[in-house]
Amino acid sequence: MRRHWGLYLFPIPALALYLAFFVLPAAQGLQYAITDWDGFSPSYNQVGAGNFARIVTNDDQFANALRNNLTFLLAVVSGQTVLALGLAVLLAARTRGSTVLRALFFLPTVLSSISVAFVWRFVYDPNLGLLHSLGVPGRFLGDEDTAILWVAVAQIWFHAGQMMVLFIAGLHQIPAELHEAAHVDGAGRWQRFRFVTWPMLAPATALVVAYTTIQSFKAFDLILGLAGNPPRSSLDILSTRIYTTFTNSQLGYAAAESVVFMLAIGVVTWLQNRAARIGAGR
Amino acid sequence: MSQPVFSRRSLLRAAGLAGGAAALAACAGPGGEAAPVTSGGFDGPVEGELSFAHWRAEDKDVFDQVIASFVQKNPKVTVRQDISASADYQSTALTKIRGGGVGDAFTAFRGAQFTNIASAGVWSDLTGQSLIGAYEPALITAGAQGGRQLGLPYQLVFNMPVTNQDLLARHGYAELPRTWDGFLGVLDGLKAKGVTPIAWPGGDSGNGGQLINSMVLNNAPADDAFAQVEAGTLKVTDDWFLTTLRQYEQLKPYFQGGATGTANEAAMQLFATGKAAFLATGSYAAGPVRKLGARFPLGLYAPITVANPRYEGVFNATFILGVNANSSRKAAALAWLRHLSDPAVAAVYANGTSQHVTVAGVEYTNPDLRAFAPWLTRRTLLAPRFQFNDLDVRTAVEEAAVKVVGGTKPEEAAEAAQRVVDQKR
């Protein structure tokens, strides 16, 4: 073994890159989080935990962004999962036209988020928009109470096709014998879905939920494209809030917000894992 | 069997130590003291490769023309445009400028960015330089600090509603009233005739926010009222701002439907197609509106909200030109600014970009610029919304107006905004 010590040199380039592009920036982010640096001036002050204290106790805008983000997350995760599952169940079988329909539902995924934002700006415009011309009343993005849900609709449209593909892959993993056995035992279509398909889709569902959660936290460019910069408070989520703080010459505070943002993602992911384990009876 | 030299645990420990070292190294960060503003250093040859840093990609071709004429006069100089997106210009580009890598001559936004650059000592002091005499003195105050002229605000816009002169004249409103009630009467008359009185992009924070300039223009107790709001000496729950919000409430029936969700493009479309009499953004909309097919003559009008107005309208002088104190080509950078300050050159820029400039004696050939030109000498106030240095405070205050149009009570909207102002101080 000693003769092969040179093998340990091989990870060094990767380790160096990891240190340079992950550890160092992360460490810098943590370090700036306890300063009042504006991102430009040559000097700054250490403020200790001051930024974090302010975020937690005295920042309505951050609290509002967190609330919006959780609402957005719940709407997107539930809506997108149900829609993608429904589409997958309908289109999993190779029937006439199913390939074309799959491609159509998948198509939005390949668009850039800014293009999607511009399309939905047109859809939602209360005077010249598609919904308006179809006779749907409302202010849509201009309605403080529901604006974030309208963005969620756009986000679901954008990514549901991608999740559909994951579910279709999961459906194809289910052995046909299980369905046949259930059928022979007299299970109806709904019972076969409830007791065979759905439990067998647990890994795909966990993947879809996790992926959708991450996407919901990263909806940044779609929101900026729809709402402009900085977005109004009814459309502000954590990622846009951090960006606004950053462009507001408060890099230290933005770094602290990023740390809290990371913790929020960690908590949501942990809760999801717990829920998935409980669901799986572990 | 011999033991390996490195165990997995020792490797992980080494990685951890390296991470810790990186963290410590990172603690170096920025340091040192802010440099004082530098004067002089402009002597020297006008030569070398000059970097001109700015964010107006749409002006690149016009600047190329201006650069060509500059290089013709100064053959030993080349000028490179270092253009960043405006959002990037707020962050990464500025850091590069501070380092002197780019931006021998550079530009800055009015407000927080100008102040930050000043506190970092990156502006060279231009006080006493002859080129300052080429500008309208009242229009370059945004580039001064502490009695020194650090930058030269170059481009000039009027952040007040644009009018469709044909449509107004057709309905008998060739002359617009100088009172608030008279203005509401005009809006009422227009609405009765099936015209959308005001197209307002309330769903677009950048453009929708411009109307507040005109609305507080004469209501505010001081010219720097918004600066005082940020400083805490005035509040948005005070009467003057509540009055402003109540006036927004009065305007509500005269905006297009769903105004708080309307994007800028849609508002411009309403105006450009002759369906709306006013476009509540600013003179900078003239070019885009023409591109959308508008053929009617344009005017400008700020609602007069008080009995004895101090001001008739609003202007803003952003795009502040300066010379980088860290540049090794300051003489060439100053020569470039001097070239831009020549009325003939400024005219090329102005007419080519459809923007007024602060340089005196410029001949405007663009019809819209000619139509707006009388406002260059009228009683106008430097746009109040840009007095805010904190973007969050500005957004909260502007959002109070949007909320009122959306149905929130003025008092409630003002209190929510004031709470943000208090938290950000």
Q: Which residue has the higher pLDDT, A6 or B319?
A: B319
Contact predicate A192/A182, CB 8 Å: yes
| Contact assignment for B399 to A143 by CB distance below 8 Å | no
Residue B47 DSSP symbol: -
pLDDT, one tens digit per residue, over A132-182 is 999 998 889 999 999 999 999 999 999 999 999 999 999 999 998 998 999
| Contact assignment for A42 to B31 by CB distance below 8 Å | yes
CA distances from B179 to B69, B85, B186, B342 (A): 48, 41, 11, 40
Which residues of chain A make contact with B394, given a CB cutoff of 8 A?
none
| Contact assignment for A2 to B269 by CB distance below 8 Å | no
Distance between CA atoms of residues A217 and A268, nearest Å: 10
pLDDT value for B4: 47
Mutation target for A interface from B24, B205, B397, B418: give the one with most A CBs within 10 A: B205
Is A24 within 8 Å of chain B by CB? yes
- β-bridge pairing B356-357 and B152-157: antiparallel
Residue B275 DSSP symbol: S
| Contact assignment for B18 to A19 by CB distance below 8 Å | yes
User: Interior CA angle at B19 toward A16 and A14, to 5°?
Assistant: 20
Q: Which residue of B has its CA nearest to A241?
A: B392
Phi, psi (degrees; rounded to nearest 5) at A267: -65, -45
Is A120 within 8 Å of chain B by CB? no
Distance between CA atoms of residues B403 and B409, nearest Å: 8
All residues at 6 or more sequence positions from B291 whose CB lies less than 8 Å from its CB, including other chains:
none
Q: Which among A42, A125, A227 is the nearest to B32, CB-wise?
A: A42
Q: Does residue A25 surpass a pLDDT of 80?
A: yes
Q: Which residue of B has its CA nearest to A9?
A: B6
| Contact assignment for A139 to B261 by CB distance below 8 Å | yes
Joined tokens for residue A210:
């996790």
Nearest to B159 by CA among B24, B311, B5, B327: B311
Min Cα distance B285 → chain A (Å) is: 17
With H, G, I as helix, E, B as strand and everything else as coil, classify residue A167: helix
Is A5 within 8 Å of chain B by CB? yes
Q: Which residue has the higher pLDDT, B22 or A4?
A: A4
Work out the average pLDDT over A38-67.
Answer: 93
pLDDT value for B25: 42
Q: Which residue of A has its CA nearest to B25?
A: A24
All residues at 6 or more sequence positions from B398 whose CB lies less than 8 Å from its CB, including other chains:
B205, B208, B209, B212, B385
| Contact assignment for B260 to A139 by CB distance below 8 Å | yes
Q: Which among B31, B94, B261 is the nearest to A143, CB-wise?
A: B261
pLDDT range class, residue A278, cuts 50, 70, 90: confident
Mutation target for B interface from A223, A232, A246: give the one with most B CBs within 10 A: A232
Total length of chain A: 282
| Contact assignment for A127 to B33 by CB distance below 8 Å | no
pLDDT value for B16: 53
pLDDT range class, residue A275, cuts 50, 70, 90: confident
Q: Does residue A110 surpass a pLDDT of 60?
A: yes
CA distances from B302 to B111, B133, B276, B379 (A): 23, 30, 16, 12
CA A60 to chain centre: 23
* Locus of tokens 């549901």: A160
Distance between CA atoms of residues A15 and A17, nearest Å: 5
Mutation target for A interface from B86, B119, B260, B273: give the one with most A CBs within 10 A: B260
pLDDT, one tens digit per residue, over A183-215 is 999 889 899 999 999 999 998 999 999 999 988
pLDDT range class, residue A249, cuts 50, 70, 90: confident
Question: Which ipTM value was assigned to this complex?
Answer: 0.85
Distance between CA atoms of residues B398 and B204, nearest Å: 11
Q: Which among A11, A58, A142 is the nearest to B261, CB-wise?
A: A142
| Contact assignment for A1 to B258 by CB distance below 8 Å | no
With H, G, I as helix, E, B as strand and everything else as coil, classify residue B2: coil
Joined tokens for residue A231:
């977005």
pLDDT value for B276: 98
Q: Which among A23, A32, A245 is the nearest to B19, CB-wise?
A: A23
pLDDT value for A157: 96
| Contact assignment for A128 to B269 by CB distance below 8 Å | yes
pLDDT value for A105: 93
As a whole number of Å, the end-to-end CA separation of chain A is: 41
Distance between CA atoms of residues A167 and B49, nearest Å: 58
pLDDT value for B22: 44
* Locus of tokens 């057709």: B170
Min Cα distance B92 → chain A (Å) is: 9
Min Cα distance B22 → chain A (Å) is: 5
- The amino acid at residue B122 is V
Is A50 within 8 Å of chain B by CB? no
pLDDT range class, residue A4, cuts 50, 70, 90: confident
| Contact assignment for B391 to A248 by CB distance below 8 Å | yes
| Contact assignment for B87 to A127 by CB distance below 8 Å | no
pLDDT value for B13: 58
pLDDT value for B31: 46
Query: Using alpha carbons only, how large is chain B's radius of gyration in Å?
Result: 25
**What number of other Cβ atoms are within 10 A of residue A36's Cβ?**
16
Query: Helices B330-340 and B343-353: crossing angle, nearest 10°?
Result: 70
pLDDT value for B24: 42
Min Cα distance A104 → chain B (Å) is: 28
Contact predicate A254/A245, CB 8 Å: yes
Distance between CA atoms of residues B271 and B291, nearest Å: 12
Query: Using alpha carbons only, how large is chain A's radius of gyration in Å?
Result: 23
CA distances from B149 to B145, B315, B323 (A): 7, 19, 11
Distance between CA atoms of residues B80 and B72, nearest Å: 15
All residue ranges of chain B with pLDDT < 50 are 1-5, 18-19, 21-29, 31-34
In chain A, which among 122-151 make CB contacts under 8 A with chain B? 124-129, 132, 138-144, 147
pLDDT value for A282: 61
pLDDT value for B36: 57
HSE of A29, CA atoms in CB hemisphere, 13 A: 17
Which residues of chain B make contact with A230, given a CB cutoff of 8 A?
205, 391-392, 395
| Contact assignment for A1 to B26 by CB distance below 8 Å | no
Distance between CA atoms of residues B175 and B177, nearest Å: 7
Is A42 within 8 Å of chain B by CB? yes
Which residues of chain B make contact with A244, given a CB cutoff of 8 A?
391-392, 395
CA B265, B352, A229, A107 torsion: positive or negative? positive
Q: Which among A1, A121, A143 is the nearest to B4, CB-wise?
A: A1
pLDDT value for B27: 44
Per the DSSP assignment, residues forming a β-bridge with B77 are B48
Mutation target for A interface from B6, B55, B271, B424: give the one with most A CBs within 10 A: B424
pLDDT value for A218: 83
Distance between CA atoms of residues A209 and A198, nearest Å: 14
- β-bridge pairing B144-145 and B162-164: unpaired
| Contact assignment for B392 to A228 by CB distance below 8 Å | no
Is A32 within 8 Å of chain B by CB? yes
| Contact assignment for B266 to A43 by CB distance below 8 Å | no
Helices (H), B343-406: 343-353, 367-372, 391-406
Nearest to B139 by CA among B373, B360, B368: B360
Mutation target for B interface from A23, A36, A114, A224: give the one with most B CBs within 10 A: A23
Q: Which residue of B has its CA nearest to A7?
A: B6
Q: Where does residue B146 fall: left (phi above 0), alpha (psi -120 to 50 degrees), or beta otherwise?
A: left
Helices (H), A39-188: 50-57, 60-91, 98-106, 113-124, 130-133, 147-173, 176-184
Q: Which residue of B has its CA nearest to A29?
A: B26
With H, G, I as helix, E, B as strand and everything else as coil, classify residue B131: helix
Min Cα distance B354 → chain A (Å) is: 24
Distance between CA atoms of residues A162 and B87, nearest Å: 31
Q: Does residue A256 surpass a pLDDT of 60?
A: yes
Distance between CA atoms of residues B8 and A271, nearest Å: 31
